[in-house]
Amino acid sequence: MIYFAHRRADDNVKEFFLKQPAGPYSSRATYQGLERIAQQQGYVKKVGTGFLAGDNIGKIDQYVSRYPVCIALDWVVASFVIVRTKI
């Protein structure tokens, strides 16, 4: 999904993503990118293979507008994510 967000933000995906059999991969996202910073600052917390909002999630809004890829995430969620609700 992050690959699509970077494409939507007109980032140079060839510079950061490798073509892999399971799809585009970027070690930068895991080891050098914003995920690590978000975890250190308490904006998110890692749960299994994903993330949940952390205790400091309310403080992240001041930084989001600095990164076009963050704004593109709204498009990714609207385009790809299926929200499940209990019936």
49-81 pLDDT per residue, tens = 888 999 999 998 888 778 788 778 888 888 886
| Residue 30 in domain | yes
Alpha helices for the chain (secondary structure H): 2-8, 13-16, 27-31, 34-40, 61-64, 68-80
Number of domains in the chain: 1
| Residue 44 in domain | yes
> What counts of helices (H) and strands (E) characterise the chain?
6, 2
> Do 54 and 44 contact (CB within 8 A), yes or no?
yes
| Residue 87 in domain | no
**Predicted pLDDT of residue 56:** 94
**Predicted pLDDT of residue 55:** 95
Per-residue pLDDT band at 83 (split at 50, 70, 90): low
Which residues constitute the domain of residue 31?
Answer: 2-80
pTM exceeds 0.85 for this model: no
| Residue 85 in domain | no
| Residue 86 in domain | no
| Residue 39 in domain | yes
| Residue 59 in domain | yes
Alpha-carbon span 7 to 10, nearest angstrom: 5
| Residue 68 in domain | yes
